[in-house]
């Protein structure tokens, strides 16, 4: 048993729902108790879908457990086919139905439906959402992609774009960005799947010259199958950031047998601004900012690369909840001299962030809240995300426009250079000192007494106390870094067994930590 307050991933049948909902003309009959329909609202609320997800739940209750749950399942499957007329029927069990062992596959086959039935074996007590999505997509591809009709009409090289799904972080806009980029390279997209594809589209997967695994967490088993079945090559570079996009372009051109191009001028033609923004003097202050990265493996690895090579940050922590891709994350972390944090316990992530005291956190919805609690800036780079990260505006993560989006998104929570400079320069100024009233309140505003109450008591007050002058000095430090300065100084003093923190200690600690 694992004590859990929050989970990065849902159960595997939610992964299957993400595939069914992404596709057209597919229906999923899920053997499940009353209440599992909660998952519908992830799609209708977070993703703001305007239709119900194509899922029928058998909704068994305690009184059904005597033995007619199998009948319930058969009725639900038959009625779903009559009502929704899908091209493919997915059938499977949620965690509870897995325990009652009704065999949805066998039951559905016994119905003799005139539609292909795909039986999903999703072990709920071992696996999770992304695995469920990958397995479901693989089973669909295996069922429908049976024939190759390559080179039929179009002379241009063609590819399939695989992995984008419902509830995917920015999948909608990534698909558009990557499709446009491929068009500029002279590569045609044959099928994008599962997002927007029907089973009939999957049947055409073999027509493409190669595949692009856009989100390996979902696409990997399917592309490996297609490599074997049709000998299609796979592009595995993830086009996130400028470096990632250039590597992706190189790999696509190579796999497609097209001549190399000047990626830099292509970037300019596409309106790429990250390289110049990052070189402009205002960004000098980004140099060496300490950043902690956590998310699914694909986004975390890409973000670490972009942070270090394109923003000039120092990556101080890298981790992922994707156990299936743990090896890749470990390899990536080694590039920065780090040990990867592979965990799905958000409390582990919280303590890692607390110990490292980064200046920026790049993570999921959960890291955003952890960072908020610790007063650290944060930007979201990966699912799971909340409704605000399914934005109305165009906001890809991939390609050249994606790089522009990353620049704005990641820099925003940080103090911009000019702002930081001004605050530091004027921090002794009577109007800028930490206890000053906001100027818009005017002279009528009550003058606050120097407010020691606003400052939390030092945690280790018993062992290490602050001398009055040191406390005063601490309060001259701008408020947004004061907490960090306090923690650093206290841990510095504790390590050295100092019982009193003086101004000296404060500056010794500053020197120690700025090395």
Partner 1 sequence: MNISVSPGACAAPVLKERGQREVFCGLTGIIWLHRRMQDAFFLVVGSRTCAHLLQSAAGVMIFAEPRFATAIIGERDLAGRADLDDELDRVVGRLLARRPEIKLLFLVGSCPSEVIKLDLGRAAARLSRVNEAGVRVLAYSGSGIETTFTEGEDACLAALVPEMPDTAPGAPASLLVVGALPDTVEAQFRSLLSQAGIDRIDFLPQRRLAELASVGPRTRILLAQPFLAATAKALEERGARRIPAPFPIGIEGTTLWLEAACRAFGIDPAIVSKLAEAPKARAAAALERARSALAGRSVFFFPDSQLEIPLARFLAREMSMRLVEVGTPYLHRQHLAEELAMLPPVQISEGQDVDLQLDRCHAARPDLVVCGLGLANPLEAAGIATKWSIELLFSPIHGYEQAADLANLFVRPLARRAMLEV
Q: Are 251 and 181 in contact (CB under 8 A)?
A: no
Looking at 6-14, 137-145, 259-267, 428-436, which segment touches partner 1 (CB under 8 A)?
A: 6-14
Task: Identify the bridge partners of residue 191 per DSSP, sorted by sequence position.
Answer: 160
Q: Does 62 bind partner 1 (CB under 8 A)?
A: yes
Task: Identify the bridge partners of residue 188 per DSSP, sorted by sequence position.
Answer: 158
Residues in contact with 448: Cβ distance below 8 Å, sequence separation at least 6, in sequence order: 435, 437
Task: Identify the bridge partners of residue 363 per DSSP, sorted by sequence position.
Answer: 380
Q: Tell me whether residue 40 is one of the annotated catalytic residues.
A: no
Q: Does 37 bind partner 1 (CB under 8 A)?
A: yes
Q: Which of 19, 31, 56, 294 binds partner 1 (CB under 8 A)?
A: 56
Min dist. Cβ of residue 36 to partner 1 (A): 7
**Residue 306, phi then psi, degrees to nearest 5:** -65, -40
Q: Does 18 bind partner 1 (CB under 8 A)?
A: no
Residue 181, token pair as written in the block: 């980029």
Site string for partner 1, 366-405 (x = CB under 8 A): x--x---x--------------------------------
Q: Does 194 bind partner 1 (CB under 8 A)?
A: no
First to last CA, the chain: 43
Residue 185 labeled ligand binder: no
Q: Does 36 bind partner 1 (CB under 8 A)?
A: yes
Q: Does 78 bind partner 1 (CB under 8 A)?
A: no
Residue 121, token pair as written in the block: 């074996």
Residues in contact with 406: Cβ distance below 8 Å, sequence separation at least 6, in sequence order: 240, 241, 274, 306, 397
Site string for partner 1, 83-122 (x = CB under 8 A): x----------xxx--xx----------------------
Q: Does 429 bind partner 1 (CB under 8 A)?
A: no
Residue 36 labeled ligand binder: yes
Backbone region of residue 54 per phi and psi (left: phi > 0; alpha: psi in -120 to 50; beta: other values): beta
Q: Does 128 bind partner 1 (CB under 8 A)?
A: yes
Q: Which of 44, 148, 243, 437 binds partner 1 (CB under 8 A)?
A: 44
Apex 229 CA angle, 224 and 232, nearest 5: 65
| CA gap 191, 202 in Å, rounded | 7
Q: Does 74 bind partner 1 (CB under 8 A)?
A: no
Q: Are 43 and 166 in contact (CB under 8 A)?
A: yes
Report helix, strand or coil for 252: helix
The active-site residue, picked from 64, 103, 282, 345, is 282
Q: Does 10 bind partner 1 (CB under 8 A)?
A: yes
Residue 418 labeled ligand binder: yes
| CA gap 354, 358 in Å, rounded | 8
Q: Which residues are annotated as a binding site for substrate?
A: 417-418
Residues forming the site for partner 1 (CB under 8 A): 1-7, 9-11, 13-14, 33-42, 44-45, 48-52, 56-62, 64-65, 76, 79, 83, 94-96, 99-100, 123-126, 128, 366, 369, 373
Q: Which residues are annotated as a binding site?
A: 36, 417-418
Active site residues: 282
């Amino acid at each position: 048993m694992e004590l859990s307050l929050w989970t990065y991933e849902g159960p595997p049948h939610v992964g299957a729902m993400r595939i069914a909902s992404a596709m057209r003309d597919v229906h999923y009959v899920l053997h499940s108790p009353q209440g599992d329909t909660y998952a519908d609202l992830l799609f209708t609320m977070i993703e703001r879908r305007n239709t119900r997800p194509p899922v029928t739940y058998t909704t068994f209750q305690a009184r059904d457990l005597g033995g007619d749950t199998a009948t319930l399942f058969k009725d639900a499957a038959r009625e779903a086919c009559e009502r929704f007329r899908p091209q493919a029927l997915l059938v499977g069990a949620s965690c509870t139905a897995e325990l009652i062992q009704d065999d949805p596959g066998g039951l559905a086959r016994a119905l003799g439906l005139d539609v292909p039935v795909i039986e999903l074996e999703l072990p709920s007590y071992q696996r999770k959402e992304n695995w469920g999505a990958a397995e479901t997509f693989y089973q669909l591809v295996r069922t429908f992609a049976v024939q190759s009709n390559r080179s039929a009409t179009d002379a241009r090289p063609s590819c399939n774009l695989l992995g984008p799904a419902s509830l995917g972080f920015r999948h909608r806009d990534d698909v558009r960005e990557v499709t446009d980029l491929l068009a500029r390279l002279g590569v045609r997209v044959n099928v994008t799947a599962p997002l927007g594809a029907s089973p009939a589209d999957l049947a055409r997967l073999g027509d493409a010259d190669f595949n692009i695994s856009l989100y390996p967490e979902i696409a990997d088993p399917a592309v490996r199958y297609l490599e074997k079945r049709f000998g299609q090559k796979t592009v595995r570079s993830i086009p996130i950031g400028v470096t990632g996009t250039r590597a992706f372009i190189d790999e696509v051109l190579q796999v497609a047998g097209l001549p190399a191009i000047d990626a830099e001028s292509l970037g300019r033609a596409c309106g790429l601004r990250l390289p110049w923004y990052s070189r402009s003097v205002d960004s000098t202050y980004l140099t060496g900012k300490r950043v902690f990265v956590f998310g699914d493996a694909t986004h975390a690895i890409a973000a670490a690369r972009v942070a270090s090579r394109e923003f000039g940050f120092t990556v101080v922590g890298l981790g992922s909840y994707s156990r299936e891709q743990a090896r890749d994350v470990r390899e990536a972390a080694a590039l920065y001299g780090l040990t990867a944090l592979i965990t799905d316990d958000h409390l582990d992530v919280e303590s890692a962030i607390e110990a490292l005291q980064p200046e920026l956190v790049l993570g999921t919805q959960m890291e955003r809240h952890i960072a908020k609690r610790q007063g650290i800036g944060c930007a979201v780079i990966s699912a799971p995300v909340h409704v605000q990260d399914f934005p109305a505006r165009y906001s890809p993560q991939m390609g050249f426009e994606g790089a522009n989006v990353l620049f704005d998104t990641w820099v925003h929570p940080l103090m911009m250079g000019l702002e930081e400079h001004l605050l530091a320069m004027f921090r002794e100024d009577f109007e800028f000192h930490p206890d000053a009233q906001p100027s818009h309140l005017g002279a009528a505003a009550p003058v606050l007494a120097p407010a020691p109450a606003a400052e939390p008591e030092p945690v280790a007050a018993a062992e290490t106390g602050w001398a009055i002058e040191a406390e005063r000095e601490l309060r001259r430090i701008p408020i947004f870094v004061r907490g960090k300065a306090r923690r650093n100084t206290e841990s510095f003093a504790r390590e050295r067994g100092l019982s009193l923190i003086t101004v000296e200690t404060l500056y010794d600690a500053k020197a120690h930590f700025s090395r």
